[in-house]
Amino acid sequence: MGKDTLKIVFTGHVDHGKSTLIGRLLIETKSLPEEKISEIRKISNQLGKDAELAFVTDYLKEEREQNITIDTTQIFFKTRRRDYVIIDAPGHVEFIKNMMTGTSQADAAVLLVDASEGVLEQTKRHAYLISMLGLERIVVAVNKMDLVNYSENIFNQVINELAGFLKNVGLTPVFTIPVSAKEGVNITERSQKVKWYRGPRFLEALGSLKRDKNGTRNKPLRFPIQDVYTVKDEKIAVGRIESGYMFKNQRIITMPSGSKNIIGSIKVFGKEIKRAGVFESIGVVCEHTGDLKRGVVIVGEQDRPELKDEIKASVFWMTNEPLYLRKELVIRCATQEIECGIESIERKIDSSTLEVIENNIDMLLKYEVGEVYIRTRSPIVVEKFSFLKELGGFVLKHKGKVAGVGIVR
């Protein structure tokens, strides 16, 4: 307890070394069950160090085959500093859905590239998926450096090749690290073999990624009203503070109207409190009541959001009936529900093959993810998903039913 957990999704072209790197991390952080470790020791004493990794990889595979739920693609390991969950399932429909609905939101992504092969098709697809999912913290590991004699030149060639593509999809790596998962170079231990490299080792890099946990506390106030009740002639707006905090006498604005108002009192279960923080469910009484209704978002006077009627988003379509341009939909974001339609689809990917389709797209089929522009009939309060997922994630409804999910980009 008290330690935070970082969820990381591992991506990269098949055979570039994901399982080996994960196995290496588990061994070097001693994160396998006790009996597995002694078993591994026994085997590697007999067969040498290479057997050690193969064993871990097989063990993971076995674990996965025994459990068919999505959770088995999650691998846990810990360091003194924090706990980690590795999600090893890009390209799984469930994975994309879980990410987009916030069920299993990763905090960061690792993109693995084989130094001897460079950037391949799946490297690009995965990078694009990372960007579509709004993940901004990405660590690039250039693996199999042993196969290129730990050459600085080749490392630079690979990252130059990658940089162009990443820039295209709007990603900037936080770290780019030369490693050899097989030989255990630069994972947790430094090595003379990469003397020329001055950055952090792989695990160190993961350890320094911030998990925006308390971030919502310092962010601007966003209080979407869920309902308004009248109790003894007093109108009480109830809801949950999605970011920031509220206090008595605070100067606020109700969106979308933009009217100024003041918090008269804050109530929790009939008791008055002076101040309430993020994720607290509360009732508030305001000086002016005319504007208060479900779907209105209360914000601080100093940090009012820009209202949008056009939103750039990624949408994951989940319904048999395709999503056509300008189809009549309703977007629900927090408690706001507003009619909308898709103006354009710029690119889309098939979530099972991750194939990118760029031309002549006028609809999304079931399980496709599209990079789209949404036009709402009236203004809406949204935030970038990477900034505030509570107001950056949304669902799209068609004829009253949830038909897709999305994130604001």
Tell how far CA 126 is from the center of its chain. 14
Q: Which of 19, 131, 243, 254 binds ligand GDP (CB under 6 A)?
A: 19
Query: What is the strand order of the sheet 108-114 is part of?
Result: 74-78, 83-87, 5-12, 108-114, 138-143, 175-178
Tell me, what DSSP letter sits at residue 63?
H
**Residues 127-186 within binding reach of ligand GDP (CB under 6 A):** 143-144, 146-147, 180-182
Of residues 15 and 358, the one with the C-beta less far from ligand GDP = 15
For the chain, the straight-line distance linking the first and the last C-alpha, in angstroms and rounded, comes to: 33
CB of 67 to ligand GDP, least distance (A): 19
Residue in 334, 342, 374, 127 with CA at minimum distance from that of residue 227 = 334
What is the total count of residues that contact ligand GDP (CB under 6 A)?
Answer: 15
As measured in angstroms, the least distance from the Cβ of 43 to ligand GDP is: 16
Tell me, residue by residue from 179 to 218, as one string, x for binding to ligand GDP by CB under 6 A and - for no binding.
Answer: -xxx------------------------------------
Nearest to residue 174, comparing CAs of 125, 217, 207?
Answer: 207
Q: Which of the ranges 7-15, 211-219, 249-257, 280-288 carries the binding residues for ligand GDP, by CB under 6 A?
A: 7-15
DSSP code per residue over 200-247: --HHHHHHHS---SGGGGGSPPEEEEEEEEEETTEEEEEEE--BS-EE
Q: Measured from the CB of residue 278, what is the shortest distance to ligand GDP in angstroms?
A: 38
Cα–Cα distance for residue pair 7/25, rounded to 1 Å:
14
| Binding segment toward ligand GDP, per CB under 6 A, in 8-16, 152-160, 301-309, 396-404 | 8-16
Minimum CB–partner distance for residue 110 and ligand GDP (Å): 11
Among 17, 91, 134, 406, the residue binding ligand GDP under the rule CB under 6 A is 17
Measured from the CB of residue 130, what is the shortest distance to ligand GDP in angstroms?
16
> What minimum distance in Å lies between the beta carbon of 10 and ligand GDP?
8
Binding flag, residue 125, ligand GDP (CB under 6 A) = no
How far is Cα 299 from Cα 303, in angstroms, rounded to an integer? 7
- The CB-of-155 to ligand GDP minimum distance in angstroms stands at 13
CA distance 278 to 262: 19
CB 237 within 8 A of CB 254: no
* CA–CA dist 294, 227 (Å, integer): 5
At closest approach, how far in Å is the CB of 182 from ligand GDP?
A: 3
Considering beta carbons, is residue 16 or 137 the nearer one to ligand GDP? Answer: 16
DSSP symbol at 17: S
User: Between 326 and 345, how does the x/- string for binding to ligand GDP read (CB under 6 A)?
Assistant: --------------------
Instruction: Please state the separation of Cα 234 from the chain's center in Å.
Output: 41
Nearer to ligand GDP, 127 or 330 (CB): 127
Q: Which parts of this chain interact with ligand GDP (CB under 6 A)?
A: 12, 14-20, 143-144, 146-147, 180-182
